[in-house]
């Protein structure tokens, strides 16, 4: 499984260079990054990100508009102006523009852009059907939003949570079995499976698994980027499901590296190396 960093911070991209296999950005991340650097022009900053990522490490850059003709124009602009730096630009197109236009606009843009040889990352994927249609339209990547799906389900079920809290859908179901009568359990199960527009998806990780299985069923080669990751436990589950790619914020990457017993072991070994004279072997 490849690891991308979900960041527009050049310092974070540099820090994990050599570990990461690509970069995903969005207008919000870029706005925050550039606002910290008042003297930097956005165009120059994006060029720097592409250069730092380097050849063979895709950089997803998103369109800003919701009207099809403008999305197409912006996708072409991004590819024309930045792909020449390291040959690594992928254009992010939302699967749907919501109330801004027709529900099929995003798919039509994906089809047209990919038909011009521009790799597309279909973003804001929340259901298996969205991913399937994006792949059929020619998207090189689909990005299911794991964390946002978990948020949606928890809000609908009335479960309080913090942004980085782990959502264990199986534990929720076990809790309900203990606390609820059989009739209420059945009622609540229907509520979970029939959330508005959620297509029976039980969690963000479940979404990734359903997309992967459907792609395998039909030999679809579009790569899955598990996105909107909030914590390490989600990453572990994603690793078991096995999409091609996961994109992570820097704090999750950092948490993946750390463990108290690792830190304790390093301290003990360092101290023993001092006491035993072992370190002197390397000083002669």
Out of 14, 43, 92, 111, the active site residue is: 92
The answer to whether 89 and 51 have CB atoms below 8 angstroms apart is: no
Cα(22)–Cα(116) distance, integer angstroms: 22
Helix (H, G, I), strand (E, B) or coil at 171: helix
Ramachandran class of 65: left when φ > 0, alpha when ψ lies in -120 to 50, beta otherwise: beta
Cα(276)–Cα(280) distance, integer angstroms: 9
Residue 234 CB burial class (10 angstroms; 0-12, 13-18, ≥19) = buried
The answer to whether 140 and 121 have CB atoms below 8 angstroms apart is: yes
Neighbouring-strand partners of residue 89: 59
- Phi first, then psi: what are they for 170, rounded to 5°? -70, -40
Residue with tokens 């199960």: 189
Classify the C-alpha dihedral 95-97-103-109 as positive or negative. Answer: negative
* Angle between helix 27-35 and helix 42-53 axes, rounded to 10 deg: 110
Q: Which of 11, 15, 25 is nearest to 253 (CA)?
A: 15
Cα(178)–Cα(174) distance, integer angstroms: 7
* Angle between helix 182-193 and helix 146-157 axes, rounded to 10 deg: 140
Is 275 marked active-site? no
The residues that are catalytic are 92
């Amino acid at each position: 499984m490849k690891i991308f960093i979900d960041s527009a911070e050049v310092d974070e991209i540099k820090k994990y260079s050599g570990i990461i296999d690509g970069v995903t950005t969005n207008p919000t991340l870029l706005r925050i990054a550039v606002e910290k650097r008042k003297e930097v022009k956005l165009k120059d900053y994006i060029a720097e990100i592409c250069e730092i990522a380097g050849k063979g490490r895709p950089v997803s850059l998103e369109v800003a508009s919701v009207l099809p003709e403008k999305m197409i124009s912006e996708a072409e602009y991004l590819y024309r102006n930045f792909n020449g730096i390291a040959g690594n630009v992928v254009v992010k197109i939302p699967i749907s523009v919501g109330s801004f236009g027709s529900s099929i606009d995003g798919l039509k843009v994906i089809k047209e852009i990919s038909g011009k040889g521009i790799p597309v990352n279909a973003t804001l994927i929340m259901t298996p059907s969205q991913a399937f249609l994006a792949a059929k339209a020619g998207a090189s990547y689909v990005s299911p939003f794991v964390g946002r799906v978990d948020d949606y389900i928890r809000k609908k079920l009335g479960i309080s949570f913090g942004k980085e809290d782990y959502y264990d859908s199986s534990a929720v179901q076990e809790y309900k079995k203990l606390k609820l009568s059989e009739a209420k359990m059945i009622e609540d199960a229907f509520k979970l499976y029939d959330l508005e527009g959620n297509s029976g998806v039980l969690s963000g990780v479940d979404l990734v698994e359903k997309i992967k299985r459907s792609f395998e069923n039909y030999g679809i080669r579009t790569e899955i980027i598990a996105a909107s990751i909030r914590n390490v436990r989600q990453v572990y589950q994603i690793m078991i499901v096995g999409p091609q790619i996961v994109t992570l914020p820097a704090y999750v990457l950092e948490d993946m590296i750390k463990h108290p017993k690792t830190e304790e072991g390093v301290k003990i070994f360092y101290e023993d190396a001092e006491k035993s004279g072992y370190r002197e072997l390397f000083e002669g």
